[in-house]
Amino acid sequence: MTGQGSTLALDIGGTKMLAALVQDSAVIDSFGMPTPRGGDPKAWLEALFAQIGPWQDRYDRVGVAVTGIVENGLWSALNKKTLDIPDRFPLTETVSTLAGCPASAANDAQAAAWGEYRFGAGAGEDMAFLTISTGIGGGVVLNGRLLPGIAAHFGLFRVQDFESSTAHDSAVEDHISGNWIARAASAHRPNASARDVFEAASGGEQWAEEIIALSARRAALLCRNVQLAVDPPRIVVGGGIGLAPGYLERIEAALSHVEQRLRPKLVPARLGDKAGVVGIADLANHPTTKGECE
């Protein structure tokens, strides 16, 4: 393959798959398609590569960011409600075969955290990243290094009703995320998406405002816990829900009573939905910045 100095970057989340050609921090071409809700991830990737076939001579390396966890090139789900995939899917092997060059992989939120740290709202300083979207993910950069493994999977923090007669617990993202917003809306508007709920709230529908406000209050509590766990100089907030109009302001309002020393400094992400592809492209070119990028 005769690449032109670009990196092929793939970002596979619970809602969509994004492919991009990245040079330094610039996305020079991109293509997106919905993430299937079932079936074989190999078939998803084959469909994506079929669409970007004309790019085959424009890159010489590839990085792929995915929701879930990547260990030794194998991809597994951590919350099947966000995206259900077979356990230990051979991600880097499959992508390398389709791309015709070596592939590296990392968690999508950690890749986005690195993108924001290097080229976005992190401004090259230690930070935590919190993405609120279909699910919730995160990343932490300390001393210029991205924490690897399952670090910063903030959406998987556990919550439990201690007053319940059962010992069941659940992931915090199941009570905040876009998936939760859509489920909470079903009693008012069946089959509504999170986007529909935000549109209803902006149109003055009280049920929609109450759902979004509750999500934001719970997100504010999550931010407080992240601050207590890591004490980052800033928490960069991204994702389709996190950056939706008025959502960050709702979180800030819910934090207004918190003592200044304990209150997290929240900053909106700058790279938008490109953070993951920019971050994984940089990690693919500088793998030593993250121990688990393979």
What is the pLDDT at residue 183? 96
Q: Is the pLDDT of residue 43 over 60?
A: yes
d(CA 93, CA 70): 12
pLDDT digits over 73-95, tens only? 999 988 887 888 889 999 999 99
Pick the CATH number of 6-112+274-289 from 3.30.420.40, 3.40.30.10, 3.20.20.210, 3.40.1360.10: 3.30.420.40
User: Residue 254 has what pLDDT?
Assistant: 98
* Longest distance between any two alpha carbons in the chain, whole Å: 62
Query: Are the folds of 6-112+274-289 and 121-269 the same?
Result: yes
What per-residue confidence (pLDDT) applies to 291?
A: 46
Stretch 217-239: mean pLDDT, rounded?
97
Q: Which two tokens stand for residue 2?
A: 């005769």
What percent of the chain lies above the pLDDT cut of 90? 81
Region 120-144: mean pLDDT is 95
Which is nearest to 154 in space by CA: 219, 245, 82?
A: 219
Q: How far is it, in rounded angstroms, from Cα 77 to Cα 25?
A: 28
Give the separation between CA 186 and CA 35, rounded to whole angstroms: 22
Q: How far apart are CA 145 and CA 231, in angstroms?
A: 16
What pLDDT does residue 87 have? Answer: 92
Mean pLDDT over 253-275 rounds to 96
Residue 55: per-residue pLDDT: 96
Q: Residue 110 above 80 pLDDT?
A: yes
Q: What pLDDT score was predicted for residue 164?
A: 58
**pLDDT (average), residues 142-152:** 92
Architecture of domain 121-269: 2-Layer Sandwich (3.30)
Q: Give 160's strand partners.
A: 169
Split at pLDDT 50, 70, 90, the class of 5 is confident
Tell me the C-alpha distance between 129 and 127, whole Å: 7
Strand partners, 103: 62
Distances (CA, A) of 119 to 7, 84, 125, 280: 16, 31, 11, 12
pLDDT mean over 245-257: 97
CA distance 232 to 226: 8
- Is residue 1 within 8 A of residue 19, CB to CB? The reply is no
Q: What is the pLDDT of residues 158-167, one digit of tens each?
A: 988 655 556 5
- What pLDDT is attached to residue 79? 80
Q: In one letter, which amino acid is 87?
A: D
Kind plus residue range of the DSSP H or E element containing 194: helix 194-202
Q: Where are the domains of the chain?
A: 6-112+274-289, 121-269
Which pLDDT belongs to residue 167?
59
Give the type of residue at 147: L
Beta carbons of 164 and 178 less than 8 angstroms apart: no
Q: What is the pLDDT of residues 175-184, one digit of tens each?
A: 999 999 999 9
